[in-house]
Amino acid sequence: MSKFLILIYDDEQAWVGADAAVSAKLMADHDRFGRQNGDKILGGNALQPVATATVVRPDGADGFTVTDGPYAETKEALGGYYLVEADDLDEAIAFAKQVPVISGGLEVRPIMVFD
């Protein structure tokens, strides 16, 4: 078994503009995804809005700069993730296809293993 991170990207404005019924359905869909795949889900969380992000970068002089805001300005922001265990990339992609999103997309990344 291998581990994969499913990154959930979505337009935060779609969430802001969503009515209560749409939001409730999406949360119920995430709950269902968790129940159906719980034995393969190792972890996951929703993230606070991108406006709460803080970027920490080396300044090239043995220090760091700290700035408010996301690492990159994009329409689709990282909104959450699932860490899953799968036989291979195809199975991880099959899990990703079940993850509910409003208008964004998903990125599946294998977890690196160091021996």
H helix or E strand, kind and range, residue 29: helix 20-37
How far apart are alpha carbons 53 and 72 in whole angstroms?
A: 11
Domain count, the chain: 1
Return the percentage of the chain with pLDDT > 90, whole number.
Answer: 57
Whether 40 is covered by a domain: the verdict is yes
Provide the residue range defining the domain that includes 79: 2-48+74-110
Residue 59 is predicted with a pLDDT of: 92
pLDDT digits (tens, 9 = 90+) for 12-40: 877 777 788 888 888 899 999 999 988 99
Whether 69 is covered by a domain: the verdict is no
H helix or E strand, kind and range, residue 14: helix 12-17
- What CATH number does the domain containing 18 carry? 3.30.70.1060
Residue 111 pLDDT greater than 90, yes or no: yes
What is the model's pTM? 0.85
Whether 6 is covered by a domain: the verdict is yes
Whether 25 is covered by a domain: the verdict is yes
For 72, phi and psi rounded to 5 degrees? -135, 145
Mean pLDDT score across all residues of the chain? 89
